[in-house]
């Protein structure tokens, strides 16, 4: 009955809007890729959202071994014991989450009390205190009727923790400097603890549920009973109270005039464009003149895409409540391993038509350059749109989107066998070959008796887009990992902090992206050599610290591998403690071409330990230039054209001019002959002009030569392939008779 009502009211979903400044504007989409509304996905909240998945996925090729063969785990302990002086965390948020978990397990809550910051270091000191710390301050009102004289919960509790930011080279960490666990009040029991405001939160998974049930005519008490029953208990087990639900419904009850929807957002775009020439946007209106779809970007994002647009993540996980629009954001990763913003869109819905428009507009804003790889969530409508609009782009599903759904899909049908299934699923995900995966995947399905499960059918149908053996031959720049998902979530949190109905979202997002892009060039002086080999030292002078750290790990691990020469230029490389197996490395000395069966270079752009072992065997002291990808090099050799192009828009104008010239010339053979004749003259003239004035990097060499028939040819040498690799290829523009 409940699901029938929800299905009936699906078209009315999210029509309640937030109009007060304190309301949340964004909620996570809770739609399952199988298409059924009742099969919604439950997401964990908090900073530890991906903790379970991180423990799931361990690539056996990346596991380090010590001298005795023991695995070295990089995952942090999940123990919730008390903090201690000297304990370190990756960020202040991690420290807060750890202390909050400890507090919840021990009958109290915490809050951020104070912090210290500087322009150079940012926030470098924080103090987290018990929720009852401090002294009550009674406010006096002029009108006696407003004087409530409520009893304060503050009692001067001294329990607290002090954390300080420390720098280890280019890496920052937060260290506990002080910890006091002395409370001067009674600690609460579990049934009392849930009543504290700090723990009374309505999860995102329940917000849409509440709005849908309210639209279906359910009262607050009935909504509480339904949510409680869906959680496997009564409403007293929910992490919020009925008055929290009433407040949420009341704050969502005010509606925005839909007739002013398009006018308001488009006026913001117009004003933003008048204030900043860097802002670019596109939009569509429906038949009634209402805003349908809207996309925008910034000039510095377009510049970044020119270099780092080989791999993009298209995230459509959130919906904006105020204007009832789906948020789509394109992200990339730069040469320092930082997430960068490319473009964003507010879409009317999640249909294939809306996604197709988003992809077409993205291509338009990015000057017609499509990415080599695009990563998305599991969504068949988005997949269809990508196949249609980006036919030459490799589409793959983000691994964190796959693993985050396993619990919702298989925990109930498998029961106590779910943990066993989860381990087996992870093992198969990391299979070495497609053949191994195919064989053992079918065996796993039969073993657990889930052949008819709709979700296993879905995963089987799309296995070529998520399983590692299928996708590892395509360049992903490391954007499929859980570490990248954390960085994207952090970026999204900053974007989602913007209240669209009260602030100019376009200006705020632009400021966020500009601030995050001002990280500057990392200091190579702090890079520590581990092997002191010429190969390592040479790479450190070319690659960024982020890329070099990845390569350095492979160089270090290559010393634990043995290489056995085989016929036809092949080498079998395996760990020195392995008796069989290993990976095949192909070496062609004529053009210095080296390939490994693990496909790590094709996947990340970083040479693997197996190929490095063979290069060492061949007495190579420097890695060949073509295996030090341009996209991973330092700013001095990589981003020069971006920083210099800020002085003018001529690179974009030149690109647009040449694209128009090409399209116009292809109309007839007469036009082609004329353009080729004139281009040859232009090339000759440019070559004879004065050399570079130092403002821009020198272009590839251009020569005009005559072939055996006397026909002049313009030869443009290129040194980059599709993934930023250095190679030799010539493009000939021949003058036709």
More confident residue, 236 or 504: 236
Tokens linked to 170? 């280019």
What are the C-alpha distances in Å from 219 to residues 238, 267, 494, 516, 576?
Answer: 17, 38, 34, 45, 67
Averaged over 30-57, what is the pLDDT? 49
If one counts every other C-beta atom within 10 angstroms of the C-beta of residue 157, the result is 19
Q: Does the pLDDT at position 36 exceed 70?
A: no
Mean of all residue pLDDT scores within the chain: 76
CA 445 to chain CA centroid, Å, is: 31
pLDDT given for residue 262 in this prediction:
57
Rounded Cα distance between 245 and 22, Å, is 16
**Residue written as tokens 């004139």?**
678
How many Å apart are CA 160 and CA 356, to the nearest integer? 52
In tens, the pLDDT along 309-324 reads 999 999 888 877 666 7
Q: Please give the distance of CA 59 from its chain centroid, rounded to a whole number.
A: 19
CA atoms within 13 A on the CB side of 705: 11
624 three-class SS: coil
d(CA 454, CA 460): 10
**pLDDT(272) > 90:** no
* Span 403-440, pLDDT tens digits: 888 888 888 888 899 999 999 999 999 888 899 999 99
Q: Is the pLDDT of residue 30 over 70?
A: no
CA gap 82, 103 in Å, rounded? 9
Q: Distance of CA 193 to CAs 158, 298, 335, 420, 515, Å?
A: 19, 47, 46, 34, 39
Torsion-angle region of 581 (φ positive above 0: left; ψ -120 to 50: alpha; else: beta): left
**Contacts of the segment 421-429: beta carbons below 8 A, 24+ positions apart:** 421/448, 422/56, 426/56, 426/57, 426/58, 428/467, 429/57, 429/399, 429/467, 429/468
What is the rounded distance in angstroms from the CA atom of residue 82 to the CA atom of residue 101?
10
Residue 79 burial by Cβ neighbours in a 10 Å radius (0-12, 13-18, 19+): exposed
Joined together, the tokens standing for residue 664 give 């116009």
Consecutive H or E run containing 193: helix 190-193
DSSP 528: P
What is the average pLDDT across 79-84?
Answer: 78
d(CA 300, CA 279): 9
DSSP class of residue 49 equals T
272's tokens: 């933003």
Which of 647, 679, 648, 646 is closest to 662 using CA atoms?
679
Cite the beta strand spans of 383-534 per DSSP E: 394-397
> In whole angstroms, what is the distance from residue 66 CA to residue 74 CA?
13
Total Cβ atoms within 10 A of residue 383: 19
What is the pLDDT, as a whole number, of residue 499? 55
pLDDT at residue number 149: 61
The predicted structure's pLDDT at residue 99: 93
**Widest CA span of the chain, in angstroms?**
103
Q: What is the pLDDT of residues 116-154, one digit of tens each?
A: 888 777 889 999 999 999 887 766 655 555 555 667 788
- Give strand ranges (E) for 227-324: 279-285, 291-298, 311-320
Pairwise CA distance, residues 5 & 212, whole Å: 9
Instruction: Grade residue 170 by pLDDT with cuts at 50, 70 and 90.
Output: low
463 confidence band (pLDDT: 50, 70, 90): very high
355 phi and psi, to 5 degrees? -65, -40
Apex CA 108: angle with CA 105 and CA 112, to 5°?
110
Strand partners, 178: 162
Q: Taking residues 158-164, what's their average pLDDT? A: 94
Cβ-defined contacts of 663-671 (< 8 Å, 24+) = none
- Among 99-103, 279-283, 419-423, 648-652, the range scoring the smallest mean pLDDT is 648-652
Determine the Cα angle at 49 with ends 400 and 632, to 5°.
50
- 78-82, 513-517, 642-646: least confident range: 642-646
Average pLDDT over residues 583-606: 91
- 296 and 328 in contact (C-beta within 8 Å)? no
Render the burial of 515-538: b for 16+ CB within 10 Å, e for the rest. Answer: eebeeeebeeeebeeeeebebbee
Specify the 3-state DSSP secondary structure of 622.
coil
Tokens standing for residue 547: 């890329």
Rounded to whole angstroms, the Cα distance separating 379 from 349 reads 13
Please report, for residues 95, 349, 403, the alpha-carbon distance to residue 442 in angstroms, rounded to integers and kept in the order given. 43, 36, 19
H or E segment to which residue 440 belongs: helix 434-448
**pLDDT for residue 56:** 33
In angstroms, rounded to a whole number, what is the distance separating the alpha carbons of residues 108 and 551?
46
pLDDT in tens, 602-648: 999 999 999 999 999 999 999 998 899 988 988 644 444 444 444 44
Residue 38: the pLDDT is: 53
Give residue 650's pLDDT.
54
DSSP assignments along 534-556, one per residue: HHHHHHHTTB-HHHHHHHHHHHH
Q: Name the nearest CA neighbour of 704 among 683, 728, 730.
A: 683
What pLDDT does 18 receive?
A: 36
In degrees, rounded to 5, the angle at the alpha carbon of residue 147 between the alpha carbons of residues 146 and 149 is 140
How far apart are alpha carbons 323 and 613 in whole angstroms?
Answer: 57
Residue 513 CA to residue 340 CA, distance in Å, equals: 7
**How far apart are alpha carbons 108 and 129 in whole angstroms?**
10
pLDDT value, residue 518: 57
pLDDT of residue 261: 53
pLDDT of amino acid 481 = 73
pLDDT of residue 424: 94
CB neighbour list of residue 198: distance below 8 Å, 6 or more residues apart: 100, 109, 110, 111, 131
More confident residue, 728 or 99: 99
């Amino acid at each position: 009955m409940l699901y029938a009502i929800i299905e009936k009211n699906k078209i009315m979903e999210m029509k309640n809007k937030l109009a007060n400044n304190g309301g949340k504007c964004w909620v996570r989409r809770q739609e399952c890729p199988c298409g059924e509304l009742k099969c919604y996905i439950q997401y964990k909240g908090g900073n530890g959202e991906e903790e379970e998945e991180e423990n799931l996925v361990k690539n056996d090729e990346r596991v380090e071994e010590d001298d005795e063969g023991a695995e070295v785990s990089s995952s942090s302990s999940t123990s919730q014991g008390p903090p201690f002086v000297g304990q370190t965390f990756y960020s202040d948020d991690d420290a807060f989450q750890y202390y909050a978990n400890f507090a919840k397990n021990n009958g109290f809550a915490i809050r951020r009390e104070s912090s210290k910051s500087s322009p150079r270091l940012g926030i470098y000191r924080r103090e987290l205190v018990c929720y009852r710390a401090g002294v009550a301050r009674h406010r006096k009102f002029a009108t006696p009727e407003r004087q409530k004289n409520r009893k304060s919960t503050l009692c001067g509790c001294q329990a607290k923790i002090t954390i300080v930011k420390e720098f280890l080279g280019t890496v920052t960490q937060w260290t506990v400097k002080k910890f006091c666990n002395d409370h001067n009040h009674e600690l609460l029991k579990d049934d009392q603890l849930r009543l504290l405001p700090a723990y009374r939160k309505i999860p995102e998974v329940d917000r849409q549920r509440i709005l849908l049930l309210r639209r279906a005519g359910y009262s607050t008490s009935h909504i509480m009973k339904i949510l409680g029953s869906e959680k496997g208990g009564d409403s007293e087990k929910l992490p919020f109270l009925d008055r929290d639900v009433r407040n949420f419904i009341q704050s969502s009850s005010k509606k925005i005039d839909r007739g002013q929807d398009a006018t308001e957002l488009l006026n913001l775009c117009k004003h933003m464009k008048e204030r900043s020439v860097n802002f670019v946007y596109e939009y569509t209106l429906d038949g009634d003149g209402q805003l349908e779809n809207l996309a925008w970007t910034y000039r510095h994002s377009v510049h970044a895409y020119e270099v780092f647009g080989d791999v993009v993540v298209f995230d459509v996980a959130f919906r904006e409540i105020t204007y009832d629009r789906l948020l789509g954001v394109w992200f990339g990763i730069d040469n320092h391993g930082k997430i960068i913003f490319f473009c964003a869109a507010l879409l009317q819905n999640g249909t294939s038509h809306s996604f197709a428009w988003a992809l077409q507009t993205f291509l338009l804003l990015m000057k017609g350059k499509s990415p080599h790889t695009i990563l998305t969530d599991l969504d068949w409508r988005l997949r269809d749109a990508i196949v249609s609009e980006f036919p030459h782009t490799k589409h793959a599903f983000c691994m964190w989107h796959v693993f985050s759904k396993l619990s919702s899909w298989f925990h109930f049908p498998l029961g106590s066998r779910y943990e066993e299934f989860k381990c087996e699923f992870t093992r198969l995900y990391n299979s070495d070959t497609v053949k191994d995966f195919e064989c053992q995947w079918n065996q796993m399905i039969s073993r657990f008796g889930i052949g008819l499960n709709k979700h296993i059918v879905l995963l089987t149908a799309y296995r070529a887009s998520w399983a590692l053996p299928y996708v590892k031959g395509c360049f992903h720049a490391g954007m499929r990992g859980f570490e990248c998902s954390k960085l994207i979530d952090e970026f999204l949190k900053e974007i989602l902090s913007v209240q669209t109905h009260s602030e100019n979202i376009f200006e705020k997002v632009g400021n966020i992206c500009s601030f995050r892009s001002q990280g500057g060039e990392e200091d190579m002086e702090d890079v520590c050599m581990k092997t002191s080999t010429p190969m390592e030292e040479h790479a450190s002078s070319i690659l960024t610290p982020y890329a070099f750290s990845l390569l350095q790990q492979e160089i270090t691990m290559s010393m634990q591998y043995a290489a056995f020469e085989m016929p036809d230029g092949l080498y079998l490389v395996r760990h020195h403690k392995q008796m069989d197996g290993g990976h095949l490395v192909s070496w062609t000395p004529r053009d210095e071409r080296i390939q490994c069966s693990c496909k790590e270079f094709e996947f990340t752009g970083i040479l693997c330990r197996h190929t490095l072992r063979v290069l060492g065997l061949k007495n190579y002291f420097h890695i060949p230039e073509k295996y030090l990808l341009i996209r991973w090099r330092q700013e001095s050799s990589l981003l020069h054209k971006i920083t210099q192009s800020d002085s003018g828009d001529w690179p974009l104008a030149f690109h647009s001019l040449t694209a128009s010239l090409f399209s116009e010339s292809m109309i007839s053979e007469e036009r082609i002959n004329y353009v080729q004749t004139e281009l040859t003259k232009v090339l000759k003239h440019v070559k004879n002009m004065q050399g570079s004035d130092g403002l821009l990097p020198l272009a590839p060499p251009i020569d005009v030569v005559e072939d055996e028939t006397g026909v002049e040819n313009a030869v443009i040498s290129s040194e980059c392939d599709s993934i930023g690799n250095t190679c030799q290829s010539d493009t000939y523009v021949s003058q036709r008779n």
